[in-house]
């Protein structure tokens, strides 16, 4: 199954048949931010977002207000809507929190995840390998977020899912900026990172909580370092 199909399936799971226009606008804009469609510093307009979503301005205004409350968008005094450009210190703090929370979520997933949930993690990693070989940056970045959220879902913990989703939402534009150029299957980092994802999934499948925790912590720390390298942050 492709990454795009996996994303659509998971998004559909969250969409209610009674969903309002504002809820749909929030869900779709949030998903776009999570995919890295908008880079840090990007200026947005209500009209432009409404056209993108094929809806009116009112539901978009409500969605933008919710995303601003989640710190995923910034509403400036001149009414401009901007994707936040976080400071190095702010980004450092988000990554540290991600390491703490997601490593524990991996340990919890090792206790409660179903075989199907682990299979989905493996599907996503396979999609990332395919994207890497095609040098498809957008799909690869999209896969990093999807995999993190699938791991969160496998923990069966609503607090973990909520925290990880919000942290990923705030980090996603900077991750997308880091991968804004090209990627190559020859880069040694990917031959460490993607097999590490596979090892995490296997530890979860084997109910090895300690190993899952340690591997996920190592995964986040090395990915963090690589993102900073791509951003030319020393």
Task: Output the DSSP codes for 31-92.
Answer: HHHHHT-S-TT-EE-HHHHHHHHTS-HHHHHHHHHHHHHTTSSEE-TTS-EE-----HHHHH
In sequence order, which residues have a C-beta less than 8 Å from that of residue 228 and are 6 or more positions away?
178, 234
Question: What is the per-residue pLDDT across 4-24, written as a single tens digit (0 to 9) for each?
Answer: 444 444 444 444 445 899 999
State how far the alpha carbon of 119 is from the alpha carbons of 83, 126, 176, 212, 217, in Å. Answer: 34, 11, 26, 16, 21
* Average pLDDT rounded to a whole number, residues 153-180: 94
Q: How far apart are CA 125 and CA 36, in angstroms?
A: 18
Q: How far apart are CA 200 and CA 219, in angstroms?
A: 9
Domains and CATH numbers, the chain: 18-82 (1.10.10.10), 88-230 (1.20.120.530)
Predicted structure pTM score: 0.85
Q: What average pLDDT is seen over the chain?
A: 91
Question: What is the per-residue pLDDT across 118-151, written as a single tens digit (0 to 9) for each?
Answer: 999 999 999 999 999 999 988 998 999 999 999 9
Q: How confident is the model at residue 1 (pLDDT cuts 50, 70, 90)?
A: low
Q: How far apart are CA 140 and CA 129, in angstroms?
A: 8
* Average pLDDT rounded to a whole number, residues 34-63: 94
Residue 18's pLDDT is what? 56
* Average pLDDT rounded to a whole number, residues 161-182: 92
Residue 10's pLDDT is what? 42
Residue 79's pLDDT is what? 81
Contact (CB, 8 A) for 172 and 36: yes
Residue 119's pLDDT is what? 98
In sequence order, which residues have a C-beta less than 8 Å from that of residue 31 and are 6 or more positions away?
7, 11
Question: What is the per-residue pLDDT across 81-113, written as a single tens digit (0 to 9) for each?
Answer: 999 999 999 999 999 999 999 999 999 999 999
* Average pLDDT rounded to a whole number, residues 153-161: 97
- The larger pLDDT score, comparing residue 12 to residue 168, is at 168
């Amino acid at each position: 199954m492709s990454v795009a199909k996996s994303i659509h399936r998971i998004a559909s799971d969250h969409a209610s048949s009674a969903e309002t226009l504002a809820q749909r606008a929030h869900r779709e804009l949030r998903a776009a931010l999570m995919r890295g469609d908008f880079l840090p510093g990007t200026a947005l307009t209500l009209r432009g977002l409404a056209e993108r979503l094929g809806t009116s301005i009112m539901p978009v205004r409500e969605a933008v207000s919710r995303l601003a409350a989640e710190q995923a968008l910034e509403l400036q005094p001149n009414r401009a809507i901007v994707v936040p450009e976080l400071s190095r210190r702010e980004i450092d703090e988000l990554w540290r929190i991600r390491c703490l929370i997601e490593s524990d979520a991996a340990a919890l997933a090792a206790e409660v995840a179903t075989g199907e949930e682990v299979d989905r993690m493996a599907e996503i990693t396979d999609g990332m390998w395919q994207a890497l070989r095609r040098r498809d940056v957008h799909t690869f970045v999209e896969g990093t977020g999807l995999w993190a959220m699938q791991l969160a879902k496998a923990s069966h913990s609503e607090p973990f899912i909520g925290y990880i989703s919000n942290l990923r939402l705030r980090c996603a534009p900077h991750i997308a900026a880091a991968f804004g150029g090209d990627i190559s299957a020859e880069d040694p980092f990917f031959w460490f990172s993607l097999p590490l994802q596979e090892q995490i999934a296997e530890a979860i499948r084997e109910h090895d909580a300690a190993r899952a925790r340690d591997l996920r912590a190592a995964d986040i720390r090395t990915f963090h370092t690589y993102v900073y390298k791509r951003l030319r942050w020393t």
